[in-house]
């Protein structure tokens, strides 16, 4: 802990953070009094990031009654016409239905391994339309901007100097940051997994990454490797050093991962050939060799692009949802096959929801939306948070059908963090805006 | 400001001394003929670091010369005090900046009666790049220099090279786009093939590099997009960047905005005015990104690129939803050129879009800086006003020039460097805003780019992975026997490919900061794509390309497969030895920055092989160079 504490202190000082501004957890870290957390069993979080801003309000739509007519009036030609009814009590009096393209996850929902969380978005404190219009509460910066809102979902707190992703913060709090296999991305670098002391290992979605140079004639290979190691060690320039550092860890970690993956059992569950399913297959494969990687906690990042449906939404969005649902359903089967379902929770994040109004054949950047959480530990078959009334110019519409969230994304993150092993008393340290809300967590875990 | 001056000065020698003349004309003072003084011609092209001799010849028709004295009247001090001699040797100081330096000297001859004759010698000494300076400029200013290009640039001044590059005819990529045999249509891979050919073969390398940089700022992509079936349109978009690379940013912005490729990518093509009954309002996609990414960014900036802060110390947003909606209205009514009607589209992905007024929102449009387009304006007029409004915003200069500097020169430019270039963006010296030729020259000629004066410890940038291979392929004549460059795996191998970004936010963001650089508060955008899989992919590509994939390593060549040819390096090694080869590589691949440690490591690598294993020796040297941290930095 002492090295981490020193690094932490030095980062605080460089970042210009005064001791008075430190949270209780940070103060404890400075004084060395953070309690080590005993991690009993293995757990993993799998983030499925839907890049571009998923029109997630269209994943769950009202079936009948006033909600339905407000919905149809608002969404016009983009209203979902043939939803699949879900057996779930919700705030929609006429019942709620699933987008038909999500059919593959209906099975998972019905088996109580999948839940939805409604009305989520970036919020700093509870916000009403009056608050928004009169600026009586602080509004998150750069709403509706892709990269800023992606960052705010990944950071799990407002932008600040030396920020870090909340996935990385969980690993650092649970002291898993030294295990490279604790932090794995199937889609390269992302902020969610980048912390002060950890960054993601990038795993090829085909699993093993063969290193060509190491299959060379052995004595020559060994000589060349010695030279390579030498050349990677004598760097002076900070950018060259950062490159060399990344290069060295890529080699070491890829070799270690290859060794572990070579022992992976073949799965009966088959995955589709979409990019998402391939990524999830690689996650499943990695989880299957978890015991060889000697890590008790893992966070995984997979992603899908294309959700920025300004155009042609009636064709593209159903296809995207279908790919998503197929991938999630396959992953659920694989986890059950590995008997890991209770230990692994997958969840979605996305830049933002989208406008209720259309631009003719698509939608624009909105705010609140719905998310999916899946795993054996999830109290599935239910909907948490709040399904927002899809009502243009209604009580939560800032303009054009950009709805104010009723649940902060940090409440969603904190629930996942608590399940992952962060003590309840420390959730506010990791997600500072929670102190502005009555509840720090939602109730979607068993 | 000074560009005209340079053009004139760089080749002109001002020599006021002229030959002697006959005694008949010699002026007299009080009956004493003044001395006859002449100065020997000096070379017509003088460069810094050069040594020249100034020689005077003096005589006196009616007496004797008692003294000939040289003194300096202008320039960096080379004569500390007047020197009495017919000839003086002048050691012109080495370059301290890119600007030509004027020197002037007076020579005074005095006769026995005290009469004097004075002549002046003046000249302008220009920079002459040595091989390292030339290599460094070309690493920054080309897609990856060849040894031949470096040798040709050597001896020129920096601005001579830049100006000669800017003057070259444009090598458009469209002329390299050809259909594959047996195919009726252009395919995606044809445009990649064309990109390689143009990149490898064209002489206008500076323009190619600037256009490549622009393609990462004004991003379009056919990755995961219907645009992958429009390679001809995509190439036309790239050509638009080439065309405007040294033009005006305002024109570039208009060409980009009206490109049907951009119109498709950011969905303002086919965007129409609001229909309140159907809750339809204009698409906000292009309105948002043209501001956030192509012109002004999210926050008000000072001219040096730093964020402006309000009284509470908070950043200030450049625009809000009303501006988004204003610009969204501006970009309504546009569709493919030569369409019969707005809805009956021509699907012409080549020509700039055309407008249909009846689909354009004629409502009032709120722009930046409190400017408003009143109700009733049509699509063309609105577009002109709106693009002028964007272009004239004070953020454009720091926002765009900083990114150009980052793409071309250094990841972490000082605020002063940004401000110097931003000033040129705002006014090229003739009152013209947005002159990219002037901006590009200012970027490359700046002391911070050229390393005149003290060099920052963090100067430079990590090379883009794709451009590393470009340099090897340009030097090693990479080709397949059939002649096509069918590189399908660009993203796996490099994490990037031309116009293949996963989103309009490019492969990497300008402010990406890897964990290792946090404490130094430095950014390294290119390291955002240096994830483990990409690093291994690039390493594999270098190994299989430079070790397994040389033509010399194969008995039979597969006509479809791409090989590099290393035979000229092999024969150079055979004739001159490994030391000389490393000297050459130091110029070519390291621009002179190969450290003693790296050199020793390469020598030790080479010592493993038998002397006559020339192919293996060259291959492994190139491979280790390719992955070495020093080569991976553009310093």
Per-residue model confidence as pLDDT tens digits over A3-37: 344 444 444 433 334 444 445 555 555 444 556 77
Longest Cα pair distance anywhere in chain B, in angstroms?
107
Q: Distance between CA A201 and CA A254 in Å, rounded? A: 8
Chain CA centroid to CA A401, Å:
25
Residues A75 and A182 in one domain: yes
Contact indicator for A349, A49 with CB cutoff of 8 Å: yes
Residues A15 and A45 in one domain: no
Nearest to B536 among A14, A209, A399 (CB): A209
Please tell me the predicted confidence (pLDDT) of residue A40.
Answer: 80
Residues recorded for chain B: 635
Mutate to test the interface with A, among B227, B279, B331 (most CBs of A within 10 A): B279
Q: Distance between CA B424 and CA B404 in Å, rounded? A: 13
Q: Distance between CA A352 and CA A147 in Å, rounded? A: 11
Angle, vertex CA A9, rays to CA A8 and CA A15, nearest 5: 90
- A-facing residues of B in 390-419 (CB < 8 A) are 411
Q: Phi and psi for A411 in degrees, rounded to 5?
A: -70, -40
Residues recorded for chain A: 446
Please tell me the predicted confidence (pLDDT) of residue A69.
Answer: 97
Mutate to test the interface with B, among A243, A304, A391 (most CBs of B within 10 A): A243
Q: Do A238 and B517 touch (CB under 8 A)?
A: yes
d(CA B314, nearest CA chain A) in Å = 11
Q: Do B279 and A365 touch (CB under 8 A)?
A: no
Radius of gyration of chain A (CA): 23
Q: Which residues contact A66 (CB under 8 A, 6 or more apart)?
A: A93, A94
Angle, vertex CA A336, rays to CA A333 and CA A340, nearest 5: 130
Alpha-helical segments (H) within A76-137: 106-110, 129-134
- Of the candidates A431, A435, A434, A429, which has an alpha carbon nearest to the alpha carbon of residue A23? A429
The DSSP result for B302-359, as a single string, is -TTSPBPB-TTS-B-BS--HHHHHHHHHHT-SEE-TT-SSSSS----SSSPPEE-GGG
- Token pair of B495 as six digits: 């994490």
d(CA B518, nearest CA chain A) in Å = 7
Please tell me the predicted confidence (pLDDT) of residue A24.
Answer: 52
Q: Phi and psi for A385 in degrees, rounded to 5?
A: 65, -140
Chain CA centroid to CA B32, Å:
62
d(CA B632, nearest CA chain A) in Å = 7
Contact indicator for A138, A125 with CB cutoff of 8 Å: yes
Q: Does B298 touch chain A (CB under 8 A)?
A: yes
Per-residue pLDDT of chain A (446 residues; tens, 9 = 90+): 333 444 444 444 333 344 444 455 555 554 445 567 778 899 999 999 999 999 999 999 999 999 999 999 999 999 999 999 999 888 899 999 999 999 999 999 999 999 999 999 999 999 999 999 999 999 999 999 999 999 999 999 986 767 899 999 999 999 998 899 999 999 988 999 999 888 899 999 998 899 999 999 999 999 999 999 999 998 999 999 999 999 999 999 999 999 999 999 999 999 999 999 999 999 999 999 999 998 999 999 999 999 999 999 999 999 999 999 999 999 999 999 999 999 999 999 999 999 999 999 999 999 999 999 999 999 999 999 999 999 999 999 999 999 999 999 999 999 999 999 999 999 999 999 999 999 999 999 99
Q: Which whole-number Å values give the CA distances from A136 to A75, A140, A445, B241, in the listed order?
A: 30, 13, 34, 46
Please tell me the predicted confidence (pLDDT) of residue A34.
Answer: 59
- Residue B113 gets which letter from DSSP? T
Q: Do B460 and A234 touch (CB under 8 A)?
A: no
Question: HEC states along B348-399?
Answer: CCCCCCEECHHHCCCCCEECCCCCEECCCCCHHHHHHHHHHHHHCCCCHHHH
Contact indicator for B102, B115 with CB cutoff of 8 Å: no
- Chain A residues whose CB is inside 8 A of the B315 CB are 141
Instruction: Indicate whether B20 pLDDT > 90.
Output: no
Per-residue model confidence as pLDDT tens digits over B55-75: 999 999 999 999 999 999 999
Residues A333 and A274 in one domain: yes
ipTM score of complex: 0.93
Q: Does B307 touch chain A (CB under 8 A)?
A: no
User: Could you tell me whether strands A201-202 and B562-563 are parallel, antiparallel, or unpaired per DSSP bridges?
Assistant: unpaired
Q: Which whole-number Å values give the CA distances from B377 to A360, A365, B100, B381, B383, in the listed order?
A: 22, 27, 51, 6, 10
Identify the sign of the CA torsion A169, A175, A178, A184: negative
Return the residue of A nearest to B606 by Cα.
A224
Q: Phi and psi for A97 in degrees, rounded to 5?
A: -130, 155
Q: Do A239 and B460 touch (CB under 8 A)?
A: yes
Q: Do A360 and B270 touch (CB under 8 A)?
A: yes
Q: Structural domain tally of chain A?
A: 3
Q: Distance between CA B84 and CA B67 in Å, rounded? A: 7
Residues A274 and A131 in one domain: yes
Q: Which residues contact B151 (CB under 8 A, 6 or more apart)?
A: B131, B134
Identify the sign of the CA torsion B260, B264, B269, B270: positive
Share of chain B above pLDDT 90, in %: 93
Please tell me the predicted confidence (pLDDT) of residue A25.
Answer: 54
Please tell me the predicted confidence (pLDDT) of residue A29.
Answer: 52
Q: Does B626 touch chain A (CB under 8 A)?
A: no
Residues A285 and A423 in one domain: yes
Nearest to B605 among A224, A254, A357 (CB): A224
Q: Does B620 touch chain A (CB under 8 A)?
A: yes
Q: Which residues contact A124 (CB under 8 A, 6 or more apart)?
A: A137, A138, A139, A140, A158, A408, A433, A436
Return the residue of A nearest to B632 by Cα.
A240
Q: Distance between CA A364 and CA B285 in Å, rounded? A: 7
Residues A324 and A242 in one domain: no
- A&B contacts, CB < 8 Å: 224
- Of the candidates B604, B181, B183, B141, which has an alpha carbon nearest to the alpha carbon of residue B405? B141
Per-residue model confidence as pLDDT tens digits over B361-399: 999 999 999 999 999 999 999 999 999 999 999 999 999
Residues A284 and A179 in one domain: yes
Q: Do B544 and A10 touch (CB under 8 A)?
A: no
Q: Does B608 touch chain A (CB under 8 A)?
A: yes
- Chain B residues whose CB is inside 8 A of the A75 CB are 279
Per-residue model confidence as pLDDT tens digits over B150-179: 999 999 999 999 999 999 999 999 999 999
- Token pair of B470 as six digits: 């470009």
> Does some domain include residue A443?
no
d(CA B605, nearest CA chain A) in Å = 6
Instruction: Indicate whether B317 pLDDT > 60.
Output: yes
Q: How many CB atoms lie within 10 A of CB B23?
A: 11
Nearest to B532 among A201, A236, A400 (CB): A201
Which domain covers residue A27, as residue numbers?
1-34
Residues A285 and A397 in one domain: yes
- A-facing residues of B in 197-216 (CB < 8 A) are none
Q: Do A14 and B519 touch (CB under 8 A)?
A: yes
- Chain B residues whose CB is inside 8 A of the A141 CB are 315, 317
Instruction: Indicate whether B16 pLDDT > 60.
Output: no
Residues facing residue B58 across a β-bridge: B37
Nearest to B272 among A220, A236, A360 (CB): A360
Q: Can you give the residue ranges of every domain in chain B?
A: 3-126, 168-247, 248-394, 463-499+531-634
Nearest to A238 among B458, B598, B601 (CB): B458
Homologous superfamily assigned to B3-126: Immunoglobulins (2.60.40.10)
Nearest to B279 among A185, A231, A358 (CB): A358
> Does some domain include residue A446?
no
């Amino acid at each position: 802990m002492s090295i981490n504490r020193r690094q932490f202190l030095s980062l605080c000082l460089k970042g210009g953070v005064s001791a008075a501004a430190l949270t209780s957890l940070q103060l404890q870290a400075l004084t060395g009094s953070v309690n080590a957390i005993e991690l009993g069993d293995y757990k993993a979080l799998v983030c499925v990031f839907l890049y571009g801003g998923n029109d997630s309000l269209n994943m769950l739509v009202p079936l009948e009654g006033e909600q339905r007519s407000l919905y149809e009036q608002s969404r016009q030609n983009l209203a979902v016409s043939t939803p699949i009814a879900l057996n779930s009590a919700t705030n929609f009096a006429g019942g709620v239905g699933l987008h038909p393209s999500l059919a593959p996850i209906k099975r998972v929902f019905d088996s109580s391994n999948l839940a939805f969380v409604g009305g989520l978005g970036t919020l700093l404190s509870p916000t009403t339309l009056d608050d928004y219009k009169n600026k009586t509460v602080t509004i998150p910066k750069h709403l509706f901007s892709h990269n800023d809102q992606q960052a705010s979902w990944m950071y799990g707190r407002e932008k600040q100097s030396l920020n870090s992703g909340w996935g990385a913060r969980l690993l650092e709090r649970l002291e898993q940051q030294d295990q490279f296999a604790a932090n794995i991305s199937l889609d390269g670098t992302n902020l969610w997994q980048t912390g002060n002391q950890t960054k993601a290992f990038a795993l090829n979605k085909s699993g093993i990454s063969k290193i060509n140079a190491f299959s060379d004639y052995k004595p020559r290979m060994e000589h060349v490797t010695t030279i390579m190691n030498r050349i990677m060690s004598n760097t002076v320039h900070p950018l060259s050093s950062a490159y060399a550092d990344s290069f060295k860890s890529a080699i070491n970690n890829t070799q270690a991962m290859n060794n572990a993956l070579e022992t992976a059992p073949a799965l009966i569950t088959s995955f589709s050939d979409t990019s998402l399913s391939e990524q999830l297959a690689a996650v499943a494969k990695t989880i299957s060799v978890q015991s060889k990687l000697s890590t008790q906690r893992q966070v995984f990042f997979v992603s899908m692009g294309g959700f920025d449906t300004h155009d042609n939404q009636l064709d593209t969005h159903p296809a995207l949802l279908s790919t998503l649902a197929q991938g999630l359903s396959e992953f659920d089967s694989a986890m059950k096959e590995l008997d890991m379902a209770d230990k692994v929770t997958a969840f979605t994040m996305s830049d933002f929801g989208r406008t209720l109004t259309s631009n003719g054949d698509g939608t624009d950047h909105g705010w609140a939306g719905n998310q999916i959480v899946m795993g054996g530990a999830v109290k599935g078959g239910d909907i948490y948070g709040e399904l927002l009334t899809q009502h243009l110019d209604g009580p939560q519409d800032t303009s054009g059908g950009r709805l104010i969230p009723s649940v902060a994304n940090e409440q969603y993150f904190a629930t996942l963090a608590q399940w992952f092993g962060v003590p309840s008393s420390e959730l506010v340290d990791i997600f500072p805006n929670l102190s502005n809300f009555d509840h720090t967590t939602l109730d979607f875990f068993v | 400001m000074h560009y005209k001056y340079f053009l004139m000065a760089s080749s002109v020698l001002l020599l006021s001394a002229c030959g002697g003349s006959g005694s008949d004309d010699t002026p007299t003072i009080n009956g004493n003929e003044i001395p006859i003084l002449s100065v020997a011609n000096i070379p017509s092209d003088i460069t810094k670091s050069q040594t020249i001799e100034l020689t005077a010849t003096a005589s006196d028709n009616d007496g004797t010369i008692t003294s000939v004295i040289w003194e300096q009247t202008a320039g960096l001090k080379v004569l500390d005090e007047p020197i009495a001699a017919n000839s003086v040797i002048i050691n012109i100081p080495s370059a301290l900046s890119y600007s030509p330096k004027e020197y002037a000297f007076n020579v005074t001859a005095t006769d026995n009666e005290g009469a004097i004759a004075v002549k002046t010698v003046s000249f302008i000494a220009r920079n002459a790049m040595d091989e390292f300076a030339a290599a460094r400029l070309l690493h920054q200013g080309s897609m990856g220099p060849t040894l031949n290009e470096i040798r040709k640039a050597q001896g020129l001044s920096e601005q001579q090279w830049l100006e000669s590059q800017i003057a070259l005819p444009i090598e458009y990529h469209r002329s390299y786009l050809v259909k594959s045999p047996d195919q009726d249509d252009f395919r995606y891979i044809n445009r990649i093939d064309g990109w390689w050919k143009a990149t490898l073969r064209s002489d206008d390398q500076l323009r190619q590099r600037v256009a490549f940089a622009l393609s990462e700022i004004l991003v379009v992509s056919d990755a995961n997009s219907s645009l992958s079936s429009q390679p001809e349109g995509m190439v036309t978009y790239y050509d638009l960047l080439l065309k405007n690379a040294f033009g005006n940013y305002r024109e570039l912005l208009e060409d980009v905005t009206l490109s049907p490729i951009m119109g498709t990518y950011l969905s303002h093509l086919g965007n129409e005015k609001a229909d309140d009954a159907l809750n339809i309002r204009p698409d906000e996609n292009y309105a948002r990104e043209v501001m956030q990414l192509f012109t002004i960014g999210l926050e008000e900036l000072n001219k040096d690129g730093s964020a402006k802060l309000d009284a509470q110390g908070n950043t200030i947003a450049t625009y809000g939803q009303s501006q988004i909606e204003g610009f969204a209205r501006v970009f309504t009514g546009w569709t493919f050129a030569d369409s019969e009607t707005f809805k009956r589209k021509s699907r012409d992905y080549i020509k700039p879009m055309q407008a249909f007024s009846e689909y354009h929102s004629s409502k009032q449009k709120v722009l930046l800086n409190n400017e408003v387009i009143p109700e009733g304006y049509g699509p063309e007029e609105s577009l002109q006003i709106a693009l002028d409004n964007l272009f004239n915003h004070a953020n454009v200069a720091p926002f765009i020039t900083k990114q150009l500097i980052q793409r071309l020169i250094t990841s972490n430019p000082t605020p002063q460097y940004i401000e110097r270039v931003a000033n040129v963006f705002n006014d090229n010296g003739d009152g013209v805003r947005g002159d990219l030729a002037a901006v590009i020259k200012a970027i490359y000629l700046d002391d911070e780019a050229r390393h005149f004066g003290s060099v920052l410890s963090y100067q430079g940038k990590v090379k883009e992975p794709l451009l590393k291979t470009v340099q090897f392929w340009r030097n090693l004549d990479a080709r397949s026997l059939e002649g096509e460059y069918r590189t399908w795996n660009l993203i796996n191998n490099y994490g990037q490919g031309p116009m293949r970004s996963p989103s309009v936010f490019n492969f990497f963001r300008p402010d990406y900061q890897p964990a290792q650089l946090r404490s130094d508060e430095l950014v390294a955008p290119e390291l955002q794509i240096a994830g483990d899989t990409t690093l291994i992919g690039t390493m594999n590509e270098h190994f299989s390309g430079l070790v397994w994939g040389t033509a010399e390593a194969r008995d039979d060549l597969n006509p479809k497969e791409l090989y590099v040819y290393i035979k000229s390096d092999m024969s150079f090694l055979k004739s001159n030895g490994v030391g000389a080869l490393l000297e050459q590589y130091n110029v070519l691949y390291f621009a002179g920055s190969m450290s003693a440690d790296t050199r020793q490591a390469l020598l030790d690598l080479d010592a493993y092989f038998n002397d006559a294993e020339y192919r293996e020796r060259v291959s492994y040297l190139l491979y280790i160079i390719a992955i070495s941290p020093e080569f991976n930095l553009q310093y």
